[in-house]
Every structure is written in structure tokens, then in C-alpha cells.
Amino acid sequence: METQADAICERSYTVQNTLPRTRELRRVVEAMNRLSTTINASFKAQSILTEQLREHAYSDPLTGLGNRRYFDRLLHNFLESAETPTRGAVVLLELCHLEQVNKKSGYLGGDQVLMRTGELIKARLENYIPSQACRISGAGFGIVAADMCNEDADELASMLSKDILQLHIDNLVDHTNIANLGFAMWKPGDTINGVLSNADFALRSAQSLGENTWFRHEPPASEQFILQGAGQWRDYLGRIIQGEEITLHIQPVFSCSGQELLHQEILLRIADQNGRFMTAGVFMPMAERLGLAMDFDKLVIDRFLKHLKSSKQDNSIYAINLNAGSLHDPVFMEWLCNRLGKHCDCAPRMVFEFTEHGVLRDLRTARDVIKQLTGIGCGCGIDHFGHGFGSFGYLSSIKVQYLKIDGSYIRNIDTESDNRFFIHALTDTAHSIGIKVIAESIETAEELDVIKTLNIDGIQGYLTGKPESL
């Protein structure tokens, strides 16, 4: 009974099949079984309801991809949020002759073409995380691919152009001219209208080139990012790592009332060739591509541990982001646990955050790593939660202290009623299993006023505290 009670506290809803012979004790065990079953059923019901709310607001019912509203929201968050400056690509894919398919095979035939196209795009994007595909018009699809460089974009375009030919092989279309693709890259400071205009120009350019072609918009040299090509990046990032030329910034996370400091998030910065700070969202995608991301994670952890040792009066808790590759690399995790073992007094003041897509890449490994870190004394949290369309059911099996709602749900929440309903349901679901919820990317007083009504535990953003040097 004690073990079962502890398991319930740990979100493991076990049932005892062997019942005691003593009548009074049997009743207690049966009551415990009913309690465990009821809590588990309640969480599952809340998870399903929350997922349905999100799908209703942001999902295309035919393809299961995001809808135009979801597409616009993603772009808005990536391009106009002060906290998430990054690089990436916007892809527009437009099917040719869909009207002819509708006339020949009826709308059922057209729907089959659209559903199969969605399946092909979704399958291809599994190799390009984090990326999201949406159906944005009758025959049009849009892809928001964050953390992507020119080489990745060209590779993705080439693969999608080949994938789309499967529609002809499946006899869903008679013609071989199936679709064209237009790509536009974005960088920090670009606007939504500018990026979409460039992507549309690229799409029209591809259509003028011929069947199943793609075109990537190339901005003028004066507007291009200062580092171009994997070779330049490799040399530059290699020098940064070798010289340990990193800077750590911190951003506070407060309770919803703003009175209590919950923790401070560690943010990695490096200087570009002009001496200006680059955020991790700008250079880390290329570091991951080149196999250097774990080196940066090691630098951050070592630098931070030195800070804790030299700051005896500092009692704050700090959150450190680990990239998905580090999370699933056993050699890195062995290194990390050894480091933490040598600094046992620091572990209780450290929280490790993992992106949701990183956790879901291999849930079993993530669960084991989180168990290992919490056993040492560290906390764990999930960052950018809700970015995709995955099930929330896994939360009951993973022992994290909090989750941070992806900033795309927070932006303009004061005017987005569907976002409010979703976040309220999500918060209730998380609270039912003892997980706290933090809203990130809060940038206006109006957004904060709404957040305070949604039973959220913590807030983070430029409005409540801008990043500053550690």
C-alpha cells in the first residue's frame, strides 16, 4: 500500500491485483485501486479534451496538418518575437491541376490527392526537426522550417520535388506536372510580409522554370547573413569552441504574481565577426549540423559550474537548455553525470530543460535521462511545449517539474480566444499530475493581464525581464 501510494505521487497509477484476506485491509486496498484508476482516467480524459481543443483551432481536418491560422501564428512567433531570433526557411508548395482532378474524379479524388500530399510532406519533415507543415489554401501547403541553413533548404527542396512524384506512381494524378516549390530564407530582423513576399516570388519563379521545379529566393549580398556556407561556419564555430569564447546571459522566470523569482534561464551567446552577440537560435542549428552542439553544451555547463563556485552569495536556481543530440547521447550524459557528481552541492540549484521534440524523439531514453538527473538532485523541465500536434499522454510517465508553453501560443493571447481556451485546458491537465506551467515570450502588458487569469504558475519574457549578462 505504501509503495502504491508513492507510485501515485510519482504519476504511476498502479493497481494491486492481490488483495489481502483481512476484510478491513481489503477494503482499504480496493479503495486505493479505485483512486489510482480514477486519477489515471481523469488525466487521460483531460489530455484528450486538450488535444481536441488544439486540433479544432489549428488543424486542417482533411490532412491533419496545421491550418492557415497555425501557419501564420508560427511565422509571427519566429519573426516578431524578441526572445527567439533564429534562422530558417518558409516553403510554399502549390499543386498543379487540382481542379482537373476534381472534375475527373470528383472531390473525393481531389481529397485523396491532398491527403497523400500531406502524408508525403509530413514524412519528409521527420528528418528536419523542428519543422511544421500546414495546408494554407485549397491546393497550397506551407512549411515553417526553423533552424535551417541554405544547404538544408536546398536538400529539403530537392527531396520534396522527388517525393511529390509518388502521387503519379499511386495513380492519384494522370499528369507528371504535379507541384512547384518556392523557398525564402529568413534571418533575425526580417518581417513576415517580406519573407512571405519572397517565398511567393520564389514559387512563381519555380512555376516558370518547368515541371516539379523548385526555386530558392536569394537576397542581395548586402542583405545576406554574414556567414555563408558550412565551411565558413565550421571554421568560425571551431575557433569559438577552441577559445571558449562564449558569453552566458540570464533571463528571470517569475511567479505569475511577479513577486517570486522561480529560476533564471541560462542563455548562450557568441559574438559574430562584427562583435555583435548572436543568440543560440542563430548559430546552434549549424552547430548541430556540423556535430558541434554537444561541445557548446559542455562549455556552457563548465562555465556555469565555475560561476556557482565563485558566487557564494548567489542562491538562485538556474535552468540550462540541452540540445536534443546531447539528451540522447550516452557518452555526453555520462560526462554530465560525472561533472555533476563532482559538484554535488550545485546540482539542487540546476534545472535542465529539453525541447518537446527532443523528448519525443526517443521517449524511453528521455525518461531514463530525466530519472538519472533527478536522482542526482537536479530538476528537469520541457521547453517549447505544444509546438507540434503530438499527444499529451506521455506527460504522466515523465518526471518533469514544469513545462514552458511555446511562445507561439502566448503571442497576442489577449486577442486570441482559442489560445486562451487551449492554455487553460492545458494548465488544468498539467496540474492534475503535479506539473507546473510557465508561459514564455510575454512581451506586452495585455498578454500578461490575460495570462494571470489562466491559473499559470510562472511567466517569462521581455516584459518581465530582458536577458542580461551573467
Residue 221, pLDDT score? 53
In 3D space, the residue among 326, 329, 191, 188 whose CA is nearest the CA of residue 269 turns out to be: 188
Contact predicate 253/260, CB 8 Å: no
Residue 111, pLDDT score? 93
In CATH terms, the fold of domain 68-223 is: Alpha-Beta Plaits (3.30.70)
- Which tens digit of pLDDT belongs to each residue from 453-470? 999 999 999 999 999 998
- Which tens digit of pLDDT belongs to each residue from 374-424? 999 999 999 989 877 777 888 888 889 999 998 888 888 998 888 888 898
- Which tens digit of pLDDT belongs to each residue from 12-71? 778 888 888 888 888 888 888 888 888 777 777 777 777 777 777 788 999 999 999 999
CA gap 345, 314 in Å, rounded: 13
Tell me the average pLDDT of the chain. 88
CA gap 178, 346 in Å, rounded: 58
Least confident of 111-125, 223-237, 289-303, 434-448: 223-237
The band of 293, judged by pLDDT with boundaries at 50, 70 and 90, is: very high
SS3 content of the chain, % helix, strand, coil (to 5): 50, 20, 30
pLDDT at 323 over 70: yes
Write down the residue that cell numbers 481543443 correspond to: 53
Query: For a pLDDT cut of 70, what percent of the chain falls above it?
Result: 96
- Tell me which CATH code domain 230-469 carries: 3.20.20.450
DSSP-assigned states of every residue in 372-419? HHHHHT-EEEEEEETSS---SGGGGGS--SEEEE-HHHHTTTTT-HHH
| Domain residue limits, the chain | 2-58, 68-223, 230-469
Residue 123, pLDDT score? 93
- Which tens digit of pLDDT belongs to each residue from 253-269? 999 988 899 999 999 99
- How far lies 76's CA from each of 14, 72, 73, 191, in Å? 43, 6, 5, 9
- Which tens digit of pLDDT belongs to each residue from 187-214? 877 888 889 999 999 999 998 888 899 9
Residue 404, pLDDT score? 95
pTM given for the model: 0.79
Cell numbers describing residue 251: 533571463
Residue 255 backbone phi and psi in degrees, to 5: -65, 165
Chain-centroid distance of CA 49 in Å reads 21
User: Helical H runs in 182-292?
Assistant: 192-209, 230-243, 280-289
Residue 239, pLDDT score? 93
- Which tens digit of pLDDT belongs to each residue from 330-373? 999 999 999 998 888 899 999 999 998 889 889 999 999 999 99
Q: Collect all residues with Cβ–Cβ distance below 8 Å to 148 and sequence separation of at least 6.
A: 87, 88, 89, 128, 131, 156, 185, 285
CA gap 335, 236 in Å, rounded: 25
Q: Kind and range of the H or E element at 27?
A: helix 23-58
The band of 81, judged by pLDDT with boundaries at 50, 70 and 90, is: low
